[in-house]
Amino acid sequence: MGTIDCDMVETTPIVFHNRLYRFEYVRANYKPNRIGTSYFRFIDVETRHPTPAFAANYHLGSAHVQSDTVFVYGVNAWGGTEIKAFWSDDLKSWESESVLNLPGWKIYNNSVCEGKGKYIMAFEIGAPPEETGVPFTIRFAESDDLLHWRLTPSECVFSKERYTACPALRFLDGYYYMIYLETMPGPIYESYIVRSQDLVHWQNSPLNPVMQSSEMDKIIANPRLTASQRRRIAGAVNINNSDVDLCEFGGRTIIYYSWGDQRGIEFLAYAVYDDTLESFLRGFFPEPKFREPT
């Protein structure tokens, strides 16, 4: 559909009380940021109104809805050692608690979903070397209540052999589906999808990539963008479709993602798949066609 903002990267669409919201990690260098430090917020997509800022000085967040409560998870620094949970039933008043502390680790992006009898968090790491292999790498934690988290065994990982970043995790049909970022020769950065039943053995989709950069990313999808912003978009280097996150709303799959040069010049765009999230995920893993023996 095109670009809706400049200098905005990590976002998560959610449905809360039958309304579509976009969680945003507002970086300190986001030009409209008047607070002077990073924070989190939600945007009501229909009205475009923001909720009050919260989680000052936390970074790289993601959001998850469970019943009448919204949970947000963020890290205390880029490459931090602590993940904190923030939760609210009205998107205005927030409680918080440290839920994962890993001294010596470097933690970045995260994603949470409800799995089989428990919740699973995927989180991107850059250290320690024995857990990371080739940075970046995705590790996992599990919880019974979204507040008390424990690391899964080290074999639950994707992937220590190469750069794999920016996870978006969902659960369907007994599989954990994960969209993540691959780096390709160039370099260029593309979003791929894999799935696993045990977080150890992963199946690659034969239809990858999920998204790749193109001139369509530069379509103006927000009429409020200024002339200056439009010039920036038109002239920007684009080698990247990253930080994908998604949800189902109104029978369609809503997808937010970042594009740009992967060096700090970044833009927020969105896409729509005109069917359910289940259809979207299953479609990347088509069933083999049965052939009659000859």
Q: Residue for token digits 């959001």?
A: 63
Domain for residue 292, yes or no? Answer: no
For 197-224, how does the pLDDT look when each residue is reduced to its tens digit (9 = 90+)? 999 999 999 999 999 999 999 999 999 9
In terms of Cα–Cα distance, which of 177, 175, 270, 174 is closest to 217? 270
Distance CA 286, CA 292 (A): 18
Query: How many separate domains does the chain show?
Result: 1
Residue 294, pLDDT score: 63
Beta-strand pair 11-16/19-26: antiparallel
Residue 176, pLDDT score: 98
Q: How does the average pLDDT of the chain come out, rounded?
A: 97
Q: Residue 57: which CATH number?
A: 2.120.10.10
Low-confidence ranges of the chain (pLDDT < 70): 290-294
Domain for residue 81, yes or no? Answer: yes
* H-assigned helices in the chain: 129-132, 227-235, 277-283
Q: Give the residue numbers spanning the domain of 205.
A: 13-211
In terms of Cα–Cα distance, which of 120, 280, 112, 279 is closest to 191? 280
Domain for residue 31, yes or no? Answer: yes
Beta-strand pair 95-101/2-6: unpaired
Residue 290, pLDDT score: 61
- Residue 118: phi and psi, rounded to 5, are -165, 170
Domain for residue 164, yes or no? Answer: yes
In terms of Cα–Cα distance, which of 266, 272, 214 is closest to 246? 272
Q: Are residues 203 and 211 in contact, defined by beta-carbon separation less than 8 angstroms?
A: no
Domain for residue 130, yes or no? Answer: yes
In terms of Cα–Cα distance, which of 95, 188, 190, 283 is closest to 179? 190
Angstrom CA distances, 155 to 3, 136, 180, 276, stand at: 38, 16, 18, 32
Domain for residue 234, yes or no? Answer: no
Residue 281, pLDDT score: 98
Domain for residue 226, yes or no? Answer: no
Q: Residue for token digits 């608690």?
A: 97
Domain for residue 219, yes or no? Answer: no
Distance CA 199, CA 114 (A): 14
Structure token digits, residue 86: 């923030």
In terms of Cα–Cα distance, which of 168, 163, 223 is closest to 193? 168
Residue 287, pLDDT score: 87
Distance CA 1, CA 101 (A): 39
Residue 288, pLDDT score: 79
In terms of Cα–Cα distance, which of 170, 165, 188, 182 is closest to 14? 170
Burial (Cβ within 10 Å: 0-12, 13-18, ≥19) of residue 186: exposed
